[in-house]
Amino acid sequence: MKIGGMKAVLALLVMLMAADIAPALAAVPDTFSNPAMESRARNLQRQFRCLVCAGENVDESGSPFSGDVRRLIREQIAAGQSDPQIQDFLVARYGSVILMKPPVEPQTWMLWLTPFLVLALGGGVAWIVVKKASVTEV
């Protein structure tokens, strides 16, 4: 999957290495003893991106950055904040680039719509093609 693009792989790896040696393993996150809170924390951690890594979320990444974000999330949960509040807090702090799921807003409409527009357009063209093909039937 890492394509022929060795250079990109290298760039990625250098970033990983700089961030931390063994990405997934470095930190054992502090855990809540309350299982509901723990699963909330883990779930939230998966929704934010490690900004110094390549494509990892803060749950799987072992970078110091991710450690910080995990700590922030856990502090906020402990302080009784709701999930949307925590998300707003992190977006305010780091920008929407930290969200794994891009926000739905006017400038990302095309991102969300493109696949379905192509599907609709393709479906339309296919409809016309099939119509024409069955009319010319001998």
x/- letters, 73..112, toward other proteins (CB under 8 A): ----------------------xxxxxxxxx---xx-xxx
* Dist. CA 79–CA 47, nearest whole Å: 19
The footprint of other proteins on this chain (CB under 8 A) covers a number of residues equal to: 64
CB of 69 to other proteins, least distance (A): 13
Among candidates 73, 76, 81, which has minimal Cα distance to 42? 73
- The DSSP code for 49 is B
Q: Check residue 122 for interaction with other proteins (CB under 8 A).
A: yes
* Dist. CA 81–CA 54, nearest whole Å: 29
Q: Check residue 33 for interaction with other proteins (CB under 8 A).
A: no
Q: Which of 34, 78, 82, 130 binds other proteins (CB under 8 A)?
A: 130
| Phi, psi torsion values for 99, nearest 5 degrees | -80, 130
Q: Check residue 128 for interaction with other proteins (CB under 8 A).
A: no
